[in-house]
Each structure stands twice: as C-alpha cells, then as structure tokens.
A and B are shown apart, each in its own frame.
Chain A
C-alpha cells in the first residue's frame, strides 16, 4: 500500500502528535476529564496511552496532552492533572476542543483564566490552531512568524504574504478543531 488510508498524494494532513515536541523514546499520555479512552484516536499512529495504562511503561519519559472539552474548568483540571503523579513529564500541552461555532470566543473564555492562574503565561505562549483534519496548522496570531530573512523583500511582497496569511487564518478559523498550547514552562 502506497498511502495510509485518509491521505492522498496531493494532501498529507498532519496529526496532533506530529505538532508536539515528542521524541522516539517518549510516551504520549492523553488525559481528559471524563472518558479519556474516547480520545485515544487523537494519538493517531503514535505510541500513546492513558495515565491508568502508564504503569506498564513506568520508566518511560512522558509527554502529556490534556484535552479540554466544553465546560471544563481550568482550576479543576489543574488539580486533577497534578494528582496524576506522572513520572518524568517532559512537555505538557493543552488541547482546547473547539465548538463548531464561536470557537474563538469559547477559547478566549478559557484562555483568560489560564493567563490569570499560570505565572508567566502571558509571555511566550503562542496558541496554535489545528483545523480541517490537519490540513491547516498555524499560529493564532495576526501576522506570520518569519523563519527566514529575505533579501530585498519589497513592500508588495510583504503585503502579498500578509494577505495570503490572513486568508489562511480565516480558513483555519472556519474549520477549527483544536487550539493547542504548550504550557510546559508555566507548569514548571
């Protein structure tokens, strides 16, 4: 078989774990209030387990993905994840599940307490939109993050790239599924 089902030569959607800083020797642990098992599909083809299943891999370093669903309170979830007592957690990510409508408004309502509760959360936390089944992954920011410096970049090219970026951003907001945030620094 040339292609994994669900992919095609023209599009190669990424999975949520593709977006995380997870190393081959680390285990992805997915946790959500309520039925964590129902979120196992989020791991895709990465090795992953729930906190309850972790004892079988107890020596393995962990990357924790906490899924926030509708109505979950941040305070309660922080208490619960601190009581999980996971060994050697490398990175911790929050994934806010988006509502079909008003996804951004819903996220902002959860974002505000996150900033209030976590020291330093207002610095360096860049939320990422995961949309359209992994066809669009981009920063929730008004301007593109530049990863190269272009020589002689004219204002027309700058404007063109910004317009392209805003078009992508509006597409992403229309098809939003999750908003991902790396909260490792804040929890430390």
Chain B
C-alpha cells in the first residue's frame, strides 16, 4: 500500500507516492507544469536506459495520461544513497564513481542530453562504484554542452553541505580541485570550467526549457540562489587549483 513521500515539492505540481508492495514510485500530477515535468522524466528515463545499455530492466517507467491527470510509475531501484549534505571529502569515492559513470555513459559530443538537476540526492548506488541517476524531471533531450550535468554535480557537492559559507577547508578544496581537474581533462568546456556557478545561472535564466522550470520553482536550482561571494570564491579555487 502507498505512502505519500512528496507533495508538490518546490511547487512543481507533482505528488510522489511510494507503493511498497508493487515496488514502484508513482508520480501524479493534475497541473500543466507537472505534466510537462513528467513527460521530461519519462523521456529522460528512456534515454538513460538506452545509454546505459540497461539489459536487466533496472530502469523502467509507465506513463498513463488522461485529460485531467498524468501518472508515471517508476520501478524502485534497490540501493543506498549518500547524504548530499556530507562534505565533498566524505563523498569523494562516490563522486568519483559518478564521474566514471558519466564518462562511460554520455556520448562524446559538444551538445548532449542533460539530466538537469544532478546532485547526490538524485543518485542511488547499487554498489559503491555503481551509481544510477534518477529523478529526470528536468531532462532535456536537446541538451546542454558536454559535462554540464557532471559539473553541476561536483559544484553541488561543495555548495550544498554549507550553502551560505564562502570559505572552504583545505581538504575540501584539494578534493574538489582533484575531481574538477579530472572533468576538465576529460573535455569540460573552458567557459563552464572556469566559473561554473555563473555559467549555470546564465543557462538557467535563458531558454524556454529552463524558464518554465524556474518560473514555478525559483529556488530549486541551487546556482540561482548562491551568493556572489561564494561564486567568485569557488571560481578562484578552480582557477588557482587547476593552474
């Protein structure tokens, strides 16, 4: 039987039920915005399943739509989650696994499909080195530049544990820079690589896809509420660390 686990979080118009016995998470919406997000999610899961070469049907979803509601049933993935509020050094191994997974899974093109909200809160680990990305409501098939999601994940790993702090400890700085360097060497575009927070804020403030999301959920995407001091400090850490 079900349990309601989210009710229109960030005013996205979607309720999430966990149906324990059926082994599914059910997303329901009766709003236009929620419907669009569930379409994104369905498309995102389909794209990701093919990109992963998911032969064991780990990822599956069923969309049911009528004139008044949209319902997406998503198969539950058994695994564990990291605490996204833990420091980047605590989560280092898991972040490295996510990076390796991204490099293996995403196509090597200048523009690639994008998850759109990839933080550790949206990753389930089957094993410590086997992550599965979920919650594809912000998916865009048209996408963004290569590395967009991974840069967002690494940035979130240093910002979300201490959202209003502009100083970073040495160990966190070293861990973050080491991860960022790996991504930069794999082909992260320079503009995104040098000032990620500014790049994301610019991206999220333009284009129909992002504007529709931010109009309803203005505080969902963390680069939109980061302080200028934090943004410039992180940018400084990256430039100093990489050079």
Interface residues of A (CB under 8 A from B): 1-4, 7-14, 18-19, 21, 23-24, 45, 126-128, 135-139, 145, 147-153, 180-182
B1 touches A19 (CB 8 A): yes
B8 touches A181 (CB 8 A): no
B13 touches A148 (CB 8 A): no
Question: Cα distance A181–B28 when bound, in Å?
Answer: 21
B32 touches A2 (CB 8 A): yes
Residue from B4, B80, B90 having most chain A Cβ neighbours under 10 A: B4
User: If the complex has contacts A2-B31, A9-B33, A137-B3, are A19 and B17 also in contact, measured as CB distance less than 8 A?
Assistant: yes
Question: Cα distance A9–B125 when bound, in Å?
Answer: 32
Within the complex, what minimum Cβ distance (angstroms) separates A145 from chain B? Answer: 6
Interface size class of B (residues with CB under 8 A): 35 or more
Question: Cα distance A173–B17 when bound, in Å?
Answer: 19
User: If the complex has contacts A13-B15, A128-B3, are A4 and B83 also in contact, measured as CB distance less than 8 A?
Assistant: no
B1 touches A150 (CB 8 A): no
A14 touches B4 (CB 8 A): yes
Within the complex, what minimum Cβ distance (angstroms) separates A49 from chain B? Answer: 16
The 7 lowest CB-CB distance pairs between A and B, nearest first, are A137-B4, A45-B68, A149-B80, A4-B30, A128-B1, A12-B8, A9-B11
Taking A3-B30, A12-B28, A137-B2 as given, write out 17 further A-B residue pairs in contact, using a Cβ cutoff of 8 Å, ordered by the A residue number.
Answer: A4-B30, A4-B69, A9-B8, A9-B11, A10-B8, A11-B8, A12-B13, A12-B34, A45-B66, A127-B1, A139-B1, A147-B20, A151-B125, A152-B86, A153-B83, A182-B1, A182-B21
Residue B124 at the chain A interface, CB threshold 8 Å: yes
B76 contact set on A, CB distance < 8 A: 147
Residue B79 at the chain A interface, CB threshold 8 Å: yes
B125 contact set on A, CB distance < 8 A: 151
User: If the complex has contacts A9-B216, A10-B8, are A18 and B71 also in contact, measured as CB distance less than 8 A?
Assistant: yes
23 contacts between A and B (CB under 8 A): A2-B33, A4-B31, A9-B11, A12-B13, A12-B34, A14-B15, A14-B28, A18-B17, A18-B26, A23-B64, A24-B64, A45-B67, A136-B4, A137-B4, A138-B3, A139-B3, A145-B3, A147-B18, A148-B79, A148-B124, A150-B83, A151-B81, A151-B125
